[in-house]
Structure 1
Amino acid sequence: MVRINKTLLICTLALVSRTAFSQQIKLSAEVEQALGKVDTGQFKIDIAYLADDKLKGRAPGTPGFRMGVDYVVSRLKRMGVKPAGEHGTWLQDVKFRKAFVKSAELTLTGATSIPAVKSGVDYVIYPNPETAEVTLSAPIAFLGFGVSEPSIGYDDYAGIDVKGKVVLVTRGAPDKFSSSVSAHTMNPTTILKAAADHGAVGVIICSTDSAAKLNSPKSGIYSVMNTDGSVAISRIYYSKQVKALGLFNYTVFNALAQQSGKTIPALIAQLKSGQPASFAISAGVNISYTSTYQDIVSYNVIGKIEGSDPKLKEEYVVHSAHLDHLGIGKPVEGDSIYNGAHDNASGVASVLGIAEIYSSIGHKPKRSILTVLLTGEELGDLGSGYFAAHPTVPVKSIVADVNTDMPTIIAPLLSVTALGAEHSSLINPVNQAAAYLDLGVEPDPEPKQARFTRSDQYSFVVNGIPALHIKYGSKTADGKNNLNDFVAKWRAKYYHKPQDDINGIFNFAAGKKYAQLNFLIGYLVAEDPARPIWNKGDIFEVKN
Structure 2
Amino acid sequence: MRLRFPLAAFVLAVATGCATAPAVAPPPAAPMPAAGATATAITAADLRLRVGIIAHDSMAGRAAATPGGRATANYLAREAARMGLQPAGDGGSYFHRVPLTRRTTVVNTLQVSGPRGDLGFTTADVVPVSGGGLPASSRTAGQGAIIFGGYLQDPSLPAARELRPQQLGGSVLLLRLAAPGVDAATTPPRAVLAPAFAPGSPVAAVLLVAEGELAEYFGYARDLIRRGQLSAGAQAPGTGDVPRFFLISPDAAERLLAGPLTAAREPRAGLGTFRYALQERTAAAEGMNVVAVLPGSNPATRTEYVALGAHYDHLGIGTPVAGDSIYNGADDDASGTAALLEIAERFANLPPAQRPARSLLFVWHDAEEDGLLGSEAFTDRPTVPRGAIVTQLNIDMVGRNSPDSLSVVGSRRLSTELGTLVEAVNERQSPPFQFDYTFDTPNHPERIYCRSDHYSYARYGIPVVFFTT
TM-score (norm 1): 0.54
Conserved 8 A contact 1:86-1:392: yes
Q: C-alpha distance in 1, partners of 2:251/2:331? A: 40
Contact 1:192 1:242 in 2 (8 A): no
SS in 1 for 2:407: strand
Aligned residue number for residue 126 of structure 1: 128
Relative to 1, partners in 2 of residues 1:451 and 1:37: Cα closer, same or farther, differing over 3 Å?
farther
Aligned pair partner of 1:102 in 94, 97, 107:
107
* TM-aligned CA distance change 1:288 to 1:419, over 3 Å: same
Residue 247 of structure 1 aligns with which residue? 247
Q: CA deviation at 1:442?
A: 2.4
Contact 1:104 1:125 in 2 (8 A): no
Deviations 1:435-482 (A, max 9, x none): 22222112559x99949379634753884666443234xxxxxxxxxx
Indicate how the Cα distance of structure 1 residues 226 and 367 shifts in structure 2: closer, same or farther if over 3 A, else same: same
Verify the 8 A CA contact 2:236 2:282 in the aligned structure 1: no
> Does the CA contact (< 8 Å) of 1:319 and 1:370 recur in 2?
yes
| TM-score, normalised relative to structure 2 | 0.61
Q: Distance in 2 between matches of 1:256 and 1:331?
A: 27
In 2, are the aligned partners of 1:315 and 1:399 still within 8 Å (CA)? yes
Q: Does 1:93 align with 2:97?
A: yes
Write the distance in 2 (CA, Å) between the matches of 1:206 and 1:318: 40
> CA deviation digits over 1:308-357, x for unaligned, max 9?
88998776543222223455667778877655444433321211222234
Deviations 1:49-98 (A, max 9, x none): 43455545444444443332222212223444333333443223333515
Query: Is residue 2:189 matched to residue 1:217?
Result: no
Alignment of 1:450-469 (within 5 A): 450=446, 452=448, 456-457=452-453, 460=456, 463=459, 467-469=464-466
SS in 2 for 1:217: helix
1:397 and 1:432 map into 2 onto residues whose CA distance is 24
In structure 2, how many angstroms separate the alpha carbons of the residues matched to 1:26 and 1:379?
Answer: 28
Q: 2:392, 2:454 within 8 Å by CA — same for their partners in 1?
A: no
1:105-184 matched pairs, under 5 angstroms: 105=110, 118-120=120-122, 124-126=126-128, 134-136=140-142, 169-172=175-178, 175=181, 177=183, 181=185
Q: Are residue 374 (structure 1) and residue 368 (structure 2) matched?
A: no
Q: Give me the whole-angstrom Cα distance separating, in 2, the residues matched to 1:192 and 1:370.
A: 44
Q: Alignment RMSD, CA only?
A: 5.9
Select the structure with the greater relative contact order (CA < 8 A; seq sep ≥ 6): 2
Task: Quote how far apart the aligned CAs of 1:125 are.
Answer: 4.2
Aligned residues: 408
Could you tell me which residue of structure 1 aligns to residue 35 of structure 2?
A: none
Paired residues for 1:309-320 under 5 Å: 317-320=306-309
The CA distance in 1 between the partners of 2:125 and 2:321, in whole Å, is 30
* Cα distance in structure 2, aligned partners of 1:414 and 1:77: 33
Offset at 1:100?
3.4
The percentage of aligned residue pairs carrying the same residue is: 25
Q: 2:422 aligns with which of 411, 426, 430?
A: 430
Residue 267 of structure 1, CA deviation: 7.7
Partner amino acid for 2:176?
T
Contact persistence 1:388–1:459 (CA under 8 A): no
Mind listing any 5+ residue stretches in structure 2 that lack a counterpart? 7-13, 21-38, 155-163
1:206 aligned to 2:209?
Answer: yes
Does residue 404 (structure 1) correspond to residue 408 (structure 2)? The answer is: no
Unaligned runs of 5+ in 1: 3-24, 149-158, 232-236, 269-276, 473-544
Q: CA deviation at 1:246?
A: 0.8
SS for the counterpart of 1:126 is strand
Q: 2:235 aligns with which of 229, 235, 238?
A: 229
Cα 1:340–1:207, aligned 2, differ >3 Å: closer, same or farther?
Answer: closer
Look up the equivalent residue of 1:418 and give its one-letter code: V
- Aligned residue in 2 for 1:440: 434
CA–CA distance in 2 between the matches of 1:457 and 1:415?
21
Residues 285, 323 of structure 1: alpha-carbon distance in 2 compared, 3 angstrom cutoff: same
Residue type of the partner of 1:439? F
CA distance in 1, matches of 2:64, 2:126: 27
Q: Secondary structure at the match of 2:222?
A: coil
1:272 aligned residue: none
Residues 261-296 of structure 1: CA deviation (Å, up to 9, x unaligned): xx976886xxxxxxxx99999999764322345764
